[in-house]
Amino acid sequence: MIVVVGLSHREAPLEVRERLTVDGDAISGLLKTLLDRPSLREALCVSTCNRTEVYAVAQSDAETDSVVAARDVERVIAEYAEKSGATGVTRYLRTHIKKDAVRHLFRVASSLDSLVIGEPQILGQMKDAFETAKSNGSVGKFLERAMSRAFHVAKRVRTETAIGAGQVSVSSVAVDLTRQIFGDLSGRASLLLGAGEMAEAAAKLLVKEGAKLQVVNRSPERAQQLATEFGGVARPWSELDQALVNADVVVASTSAKRFVISREMVVRAMRARRGRSLFFIDIAVPRDVESSVNDLDNVYVYDIDNLSNVVADSMRGRQAEAERAEALVSRETDAFETWAEGLSVTTTIVALRAKVKASLAGELEKSLAGRLRHLPESDRKALDTMIDAAVNKLLHAPTTRIRAMASDPGASDLVKTVHHLFDLAELAREIEEKERSVKEKGPAPEERASADASPASSDAAEAPAPARADRETAGR
């Protein structure tokens, strides 16, 4: 049911990724547009410095519906990109559907698909995206289960493997690169441009290496707070030019939409520096440093994609742990797919029973209003009981076999066939909509009382109808 469409550092270069970013103000509109598509029923959007992806749920788990849903997501992203002026991004989009989409979700949450394998920031970003989608009403039962499971998988990866051992983040890689450039950082003048989470991580590492710290940020209060925490000096934004003159290395990580450091600014700074080299490590997306700055003499710019060689070196020592993590993700993906296939089968069984019972009850109602209208109430109740028994007997073998095939690779085809033969597609959707409505609004008082008396297992709660059918069948 899940489809994933988007791009990341694996498919798209930085100049493409920075054109397709979706900030908080735009996400609500994007989610609404996605849910306006009839093929989609749930959606969330993750947009970070290394990826912009939509995770959506198709109306059914049929292969054809998943393909249609994925194409609709692609169209929505293409429309958003065009309106935002993000030309040339759609050819980099990659699509994952069904089991492949679940595996991708679990790998992203576990930081196995990150530029820096094992970095912890992506999990927080995924949780933020999940909360944003929930606040916009675009998360239902299936996506909530999938995201909750993804967070569980990420926790297992971090606790059961050493994939995140040591300092593992984009900021730590940036400082590693700084160390490679200068060797000993003791006494070196570093300038943090920006004072967010990545800047804070970089500040901690730079100071630990003995570097002197300057902080320049749009918010002077935040700049002062960060500088004070790490024994540095905060400078107002208006003194950025002078801060460039004094720095040996600049770590840029603002959330600005356009370049913060222009070629002209660096030309002025280099005149005052009298030939001393200046290094920029730009870990912002969109980039903070104009790309032509790298063309100046004695000026060197490393952006987030240039960190890949440093990342490769750090990854070699964690390769075995990464393989363990991948194996764990594969097992969790298989387990989730088994649950998802069982969920689809459960809905089909409930719909099939409802359809058959409604047909028999309708015929009985006609008879009771006609030739059998003379029957007393006790006989009418007996006929109702007979219909229940007939439904159980008639559907015992089909429902048993459908349930037995829940984990079979052909389960979705079987469900599709049953839906077609008995015209169940619309009824199955209504049942799923009712379940989602009950989850969002809470059960009625009589349903709560029934739930209190039922088993506490979440699996039992998710499949009340088949469990009831089993009891009825066993009682015959």
Residue 324 within a domain: no
Last residue of a domain, one of 105, 140, 163: 163
The whole-number pLDDT of residue 310 equals 67
Residue 257 within a domain: yes
Of 116 and 372, which is predicted with more confidence? 372
Residues 60 and 193 in one domain: no
The helix/strand/coil state of 167 is: coil
Residue 346 within a domain: yes
Residues 9 and 137 in one domain: yes
Distance, in Å, from the CA atom of 35 to the CA atom of 262, rounded to the nearest integer, reads 40
DSSP secondary-structure letter at 113? Answer: S
Residues 112 and 186 in one domain: no
Bridge-based pairing of strands 2-8 and 189-193 is: unpaired
pLDDT tens per residue across span 330-358: 999 998 987 777 666 777 888 888 888 88
Beta bridge partners of 250: 191, 280
Work out the pLDDT band at 168, boundaries 50, 70, 90: low
Last residue of a domain, one of 163, 193, 208: 163
Residues 184 and 264 in one domain: yes
pLDDT tens per residue across span 464-475: 333 333 333 333
Distance, in Å, from the CA atom of 404 to the CA atom of 341, rounded to the nearest integer, reads 11
The CATH number assigned to the domain holding 153 equals 3.30.460.30
C-alpha distances in Å from residue 93, one per residue of 13, 38, 254, 319? 12, 22, 26, 28
C-alpha distances in Å from residue 297, one per residue of 276, 281, 365? 10, 16, 91
Domain range for 229: 170-307
The model carries a pTM of 0.68
Residue 23 within a domain: yes
Distance, in Å, from the CA atom of 388 to the CA atom of 293, rounded to the nearest integer, reads 78
The whole-number pLDDT of residue 459 equals 36
Residues 461 and 347 in one domain: yes
Residue 290 near residue 263, CB atoms below 8 Å: yes
Structural domains of the chain, count: 3
Residue of 27, 40, 46, 49 marked catalytic = 49
Residue 193 within a domain: yes
The whole-number pLDDT of residue 447 equals 42
Bridge-based pairing of strands 278-282 and 249-252 is: parallel
The CATH number assigned to the domain holding 256 equals 3.40.50.720
pLDDT tens per residue across span 92-148: 999 999 899 999 999 999 999 988 888 888 999 999 999 999 999 999 989 999 999
Work out the pLDDT band at 449, boundaries 50, 70, 90: very low
Active-site residue flag, 45: no
Residue 318 within a domain: no
Residue 285 within a domain: yes
Residues 27 and 145 in one domain: yes
Residue 452 within a domain: yes
C-alpha distances in Å from residue 377, one per residue of 24, 382, 422? 62, 9, 32
